[in-house]
A = this chain, B = another copy of it.
Amino acid sequence: MTNDALLRALERQPTDYTPVWLMRQAGRYLPEYRATRERAGSFLALAKSPALAAEVTLQPLERFALDAAILFSDILTVPDAMGLGLHFADGEGPRFARPLRDEAAIRALAAPDPADQLRYVIDAVREIRKALAGRVPLIGFAGSPFTLACYMVEGAGSDDWRALKTMLYARPDLLHRILEVNTRAVTDYLNAQIDAGAQVVMLFDTWGGQLSHAGYEEFSLAYSRRILSGLRRESGGRKVPSILFTKGGGAWLEAMAASGCTAVGLDWTVDPAAARARVGTRVALQGNLDPAALFAPPDAVRREVRRVLDAFGPAPGHVFNLGHGISQHTPVESVAALVDEVRTYSRRLRGAARSNP
Contact = CB atoms under 8 A, between A and B. Distances in A.
B293 A169 contact: yes
A270 B250 CA distance: 10
Interface in A118-166: 159-162, 165-166
A169 B298 CA distance: 11
Given A166-B295, A209-B269, 10 more contacts: A160-B327, A162-B292, A166-B292, A169-B292, A170-B295, A212-B269, A214-B271, A216-B269, A248-B248, A251-B270
A211 B269 contact: yes
A348 interface: no
A80 interface: no
A141 to B, nearest CB: 22
* From A211, A213, A270, residue with most partner B Cβ within 10 Å: A213
Interface residues on A, range: 35 or more
Interface string A260-280: 000000001111001000000
Contacts of A329: 162
A297 interface: yes
A291 B327 CA distance: 29
A301 B165 CA distance: 12
A318 to B, nearest CB: 16
B213 A296 contact: no
Given A209-B269, A269-B213, A290-B212, A295 B248 contact: no
18 contacts: A159-B159, A162-B295, A168-B292, A169-B290, A169-B295, A169-B300, A169-B301, A170-B295, A170-B296, A170-B297, A170-B300, A212-B268, A212-B290, A213-B270, A213-B274, A248-B269, A250-B251, A251-B270
A73 to B, nearest CB: 23
Contacts of A210: 269
A304 interface: yes
Contacts of A160: 291-292, 327
Nearest to A159: B159
A34 interface: no
Contacts of A274: 213, 251
A177 interface: no
Contact of A292 (B161, B216, B307, B327): B161
A290 B301 CA distance: 36
Interface string A240-252: 0000000010110
A251 B248 contact: no
A107 B137 CA distance: 50
A209 B267 CA distance: 11
A272 B85 CA distance: 40
Contacts of A159: 159
* From A209, A216, A269, A293, residue with most partner B Cβ within 10 Å: A269
Nearest 4 pairs of A and B residues by beta carbon: A165-B292, A169-B296, A213-B271, A166-B295
A323 B160 CA distance: 13
A290 B327 contact: no
Nearest to A251: B250
B169 A327 contact: no
